[in-house]
Chains A and B, each alone.
Chain A
Amino acid sequence: MYRLHPVTKVVIVIASIIVASICPLVCLIAFLTFVASLSAVGMEFAKFLRIMRSALTIILVLALFTLLYGVLSTHSPRIILEASFTQGVIIGSIKLLKLMLSFAVLFSTTRPQSIVRMLSKLRVPYKYTYILVLAIRYMSILMSDFQEIYDVQAIRGLRIDSGSTLMRIRNTLSLFIPLIVASTDRLNDMSIVLEVKGFGLSKHRSYAFVEKVNLMDIVVIALIPLVVIGPHLALNLVK
Chain B
Amino acid sequence: MPRDLCRAGDAIVFNDVSFSYSNGFALSDLSFTIRSGELALIMGPNGSGKTTVLKLMAGILKPSSGDVYLCGINTKRVKLSEVAKYVGYVPQNPWMAFFNNTVFNEIAYVARNIGLSKEEYEARVLEVSTWLNIAHLLQRSPHSLSEGEARRVSIAAAVTHDPSIVLLDEPTAGLDYLNKVDYVNIVQKAVLRRGRTVVMSSHDIDLLTLFPEAKVILLNNGRLSFNGYIRDLLSRAHLLLSNKLLPPAAIALSTYLNELLGIGAEGREPSVEELIERTVLRKDVIGELICS
Contact = CB atoms under 8 A, between A and B. Distances in A.
Contacts of B113: 156-159
Contacts of A151: 55, 58, 60
A173 B99 contact: yes
Contacts of B157: 156
Interface stretch (A5-13, A65-73, A95-103, A174-182): A174-182
B95 interface: yes
Contact of A178 (B58, B98, B110): B98
B254 to A, nearest CB: 39
A155 B89 contact: yes
Given A151-B60, A156-B113, A158-B113, A177 B99 contact: yes
Contacts of B80: 154-155
B122 to A, nearest CB: 18
Nearest to B112: A157
Can you list the 10 inter-chain pairs with the closest CB atoms, starting with the nearest?
A: A157-B113, A157-B84, A177-B99, A155-B89, A151-B60, A154-B80, A174-B99, A156-B110, A152-B91, A152-B97
Number of contact residues on A: which range applies? 20 to 34
A25 to B, nearest CB: 38
Contacts of A181: 95, 98, 143
A156 B96 CA distance: 12
Contacts of B81: 154, 157-159
B99 A155 contact: no
A153 interface: yes
B110 A149 contact: no
Contact of A155 (B84, B93, B95): B84
Nearest to B87: A155
A77 B261 CA distance: 91
Given A173-B99, A182-B95, A185-B95, A156 B89 contact: yes
Interface string A126-169: 00000000000000000001001101111111110000000000
Contacts of B91: 148, 152
B109 interface: yes
A190 B60 CA distance: 30
Nearest to B161: A157
Given A151-B55, A151-B60, A181-B143, A156 B84 contact: yes
B95 A152 contact: no
A155 B83 contact: yes
Interface of A: 145, 148-149, 151-159, 173-175, 177-178, 181-182, 185
B96 A178 contact: yes
Interface string B66-104: 000000000000001101110101010101111100000
Contacts of B89: 152, 155-156
Contacts of B260: none
B171 interface: no
30 contacts: A145-B96, A149-B97, A152-B89, A152-B91, A152-B96, A152-B97, A153-B97, A154-B81, A154-B84, A155-B84, A156-B84, A156-B109, A156-B110, A157-B81, A157-B109, A157-B110, A157-B113, A158-B81, A158-B113, A159-B81, A159-B113, A174-B99, A174-B109, A177-B98, A177-B99, A178-B95, A178-B96, A178-B98, A181-B143, A185-B95
Nearest to A181: B95
B5 interface: no
B222 interface: no
A178 B94 CA distance: 10
B49 interface: no
Contacts of B84: 154-157
Contacts of A158: 81, 113
A232 to B, nearest CB: 43
A177 B109 CA distance: 15
Nearest to A150: B60
Interface in B102-143: 109-110, 113-114, 143
B247 interface: no
B83 A178 contact: no
Nearest to B82: A157
A157 B60 contact: no
A178 B99 contact: yes
Given A152-B91, A177-B98, A185-B95, 10 more contacts: A148-B96, A154-B81, A155-B83, A156-B89, A157-B110, A158-B81, A174-B99, A175-B99, A177-B99, A178-B96
A48 to B, nearest CB: 17
B54 to A, nearest CB: 10
